[in-house]
Amino acid sequence: MKYKAIFFIAFSLLISLSACKFQKLIKSGSVDEKYEMAVKLYSQKDYSRAIQLFDQLTGAMRATEKSQKIAYYYAYCYYNQRDYTLAAYYFKRYSTNYPNSVEAEECMYMSAYCNFLNSPEYTLDQTVTYDALKELQLFTNTYPTSKRVSECNDLIDKLRLKLEMKDYRIAKMFYRMDDYAASITMLKNILKDYPDTPHKEEVLFLVVKSYHKFAEESILEKQKDRHLKAIVAYNDFVALYPESKFISEAADLKEKSKKELELIYNKDQVKAKKESTRIQF
C-alpha cells in the first residue's frame, strides 16, 4: 500500500508538471516548438492537446511549407476524436486547397466517409445521408480507378438501403392512415428508385390494395378509373409473383374491383338508355 501511494503521488506530480509545461508552451513557446510538440502529441494519440497546438499553428504557419501537413494532421485529429462533422469539413478543405497533393484522394474519400459515419438512423432526418451519397459519388467520378471505389460503392449501397427503408416505412404509414393517394405515390416511387428492393413483392401488393381501397372511398365519377388501376396493378403483381403469399388476397381484391366495374358499367348503360329515351321524346 505504501509503494502504491508513492507511485500515485509521483504519477500525479508528473501529470501536473506535464500540464504546466504544456500550458507554458501554448502561451510562450516558439512556432517550431509548438509544431514539434503537436506532431509528438499526435503520434501519441493525444489528439485533444494536439488540436490546441494545431489551432495556433494554422494561422502562424499559413505561408510555410508545413501548413499543408498541419491541415492534414488537423483533419485526422477530429476524425480520431470521432467528431465526424468537423473532420468531414477539414478533409474536404484539404482536398480542395491541395488538389495535386499525394493525400488529396485520401482526404476527399475521408470527407465522404465521415459523412457516411454521421448518417443517422433511417427514422431521423436524412440530409447528411444525401450529402454522403453526393460526396461518395463525386469521389468515384473524380477517381474512377482508385482502389477505394469498391468501398465507396458498398457505402453507397448501405446508404441507399437506409433511404429505401425510410420511404418504405413512410409508405406503410400513409396506408395505415388511410391516405391511399399518398401511399400509392410513395410505393410507386420505391419501385422506381429502388427496383431491386427486397420489399418489392409486398410493395406491389400494397399498390393493388391501395388502389382498391382508394376506389372504394372515391366519389362515383372517379371509382371506375381507380378500380381499373387496381386490376392493372394486380396483373403487374401476379406476373412477377404468381406464387406469392399475398396472391389469394390480391386475387380477391381484383374480383371485387371487377364486380364494382360491372355495376358501374350497368349504371352507365341504364343512364345512357334513359338519356337516349329523353332525347327521342
Is residue 213 within 8 A of residue 180, CB to CB? The reply is yes
Amino acid identity, position 202: E
Task: Say what the pLDDT of residue 3 is.
Answer: 53
Could you read off the pLDDT of 35-52 as tens digits, one per residue?
A: 899 999 999 999 999 999
Task: Say what the pLDDT of residue 30 is.
Answer: 74
DSSP string, 176-236: HTT-HHHHHHHHHHHHHH-TT-TTHHHHHHHHHHHHHHHHHTS-HHHHHHHHHHHHHHHHH
Task: Say what the pLDDT of residue 21 is.
Answer: 67
Is residue 99 within 8 A of residue 72, CB to CB? The reply is no
Q: How confident is the model at residue 265 (pLDDT cuts 50, 70, 90)?
A: confident
Task: Say what the pLDDT of residue 188 is.
Answer: 97
* pTM for the structure as a whole: 0.79
Task: Say what the pLDDT of residue 270 is.
Answer: 52
Amino acid identity, position 100: N
Task: Say what the pLDDT of residue 271 is.
Answer: 57
Task: Say what the pLDDT of residue 64 is.
Answer: 76
What average pLDDT is seen over the chain? 88
Residue 29 pLDDT exceeds 80:
no
What Å distances lie between residue 151 and 116, 126, 139, 147, 154, CA to CA? 12, 21, 11, 8, 5
Least confident of 1-10, 136-145, 236-245, 266-275: 1-10
Task: Say what the pLDDT of residue 25 is.
Answer: 64
Q: Which residue, chain included where needed, has cell 517550431?
A: 32
Could you read off the pLDDT of 165-218 as tens digits, one per residue?
A: 999 999 999 999 999 999 999 999 999 999 999 999 999 999 999 999 999 999
- Quote the percentage of the chain above a pLDDT of 90: 73
Residue 13 pLDDT exceeds 50:
no
Task: Say what the pLDDT of residue 10 is.
Answer: 42
Residue 60 pLDDT exceeds 70:
no
Residue 11 pLDDT exceeds 60:
no
Q: Among 147, 137, 87, 157, which residue's Cα sits nearest to residue 115?
A: 87
Per the model's pLDDT, the better-predicted residue between 22 and 111 turns out to be 111
- The C-alpha atoms of residue 129 and residue 7 are separated, in whole angstroms, by 50
Long-range contacts, 83-86 (Cβ 8 Å, 24+)? 84/114, 84/115, 84/117, 84/118, 85/114, 85/118
Average pLDDT, integer, range 119-135: 95
Q: Among 205, 199, 202, 119, which residue's Cα sits nearest to residue 155?
A: 119
Residue 72 pLDDT exceeds 80:
yes
Residue 16 pLDDT exceeds 50:
no
- The C-alpha atoms of residue 72 and residue 148 are separated, in whole angstroms, by 19
Could you read off the pLDDT of 220-256 as tens digits, one per residue?
A: 889 999 999 999 999 999 999 999 999 999 999 999 9
